Amino acid sequence: MKKKYFFVILFLVLAMFLSGCSEVTPPAETLSADIIITDWEQNYYSSWQEWSDLVKVWYKITNTGNVDIDYYKIWFTAYCEDGSSYEDWTNGLAVDVGHYEFDTTWINVGKNKKVTSIKVTDWELTHYTW
């Protein structure tokens, strides 16, 4: 009977020792975002009968990762009626985990180019480890 208790206690001590040696791995840092264009606008000047060379873009960036976005850079492409396209970028700071930010930017297109659509074409997200 004493032999059984000895083995049970030995097994429990060994199990505690081995579990104390294992290291808990923290979850991997995931840096991700959803970026959507909420609206855009290009002015038409009827007195000159031409389109503005600037397009205003409203967008929303949502942090879908598990670390804060400290800095971001987003590229937009404006597609024009004549088949041409123009790319420009914007940047911003501080989008906390699970939060979102609304912002605006301008895309410079060619003279008298009518824009038909705008898309988010690329982005970079940065999290600084202090």
Establish if 75 belongs to a structural domain.
yes
pLDDT in tens, 38-80: 999 998 888 778 998 999 999 999 999 999 999 999 999 999 9
The per-residue pLDDT for 84 is: 94
Residue 67 one-letter amino acid: V
| DSSP result, 102-116 | EEEEEEE--TTPPEE
Q: Measure Cα distances from 49 to 82, 83, 94, 110, 111 in Å.
A: 17, 20, 41, 15, 12
pLDDT in tens, 68-122: 999 999 999 999 999 999 999 999 999 999 999 999 999 999 889 999 999 999 9
Establish if 78 belongs to a structural domain.
yes
Structural domain including 64 reads 33-126
Angstrom distance (rounded) from CA 84 to CA 71 = 30
Establish if 8 belongs to a structural domain.
no
The per-residue pLDDT for 15 is: 67
Establish if 70 belongs to a structural domain.
yes
Give the CATH number for residue 68.
2.60.40.1620
Establish if 10 belongs to a structural domain.
no
The per-residue pLDDT for 110 is: 86
The per-residue pLDDT for 18 is: 61
Q: In what order do the strands lie in the sheet with 85-95?
A: 85-95, 69-80, 115-126
The per-residue pLDDT for 20 is: 58
Establish if 13 belongs to a structural domain.
no
Domain count, the chain: 1
Please report the beta strands in 1-130, taking only residues with DSSP state E, as ranges in sequence order.
33-45, 50-63, 69-80, 85-95, 100-108, 115-126
Angstrom distance (rounded) from CA 68 to CA 29 = 10
The per-residue pLDDT for 88 is: 95
Establish if 7 belongs to a structural domain.
no
Establish if 25 belongs to a structural domain.
no
* 39: its two tokens: 């609206």
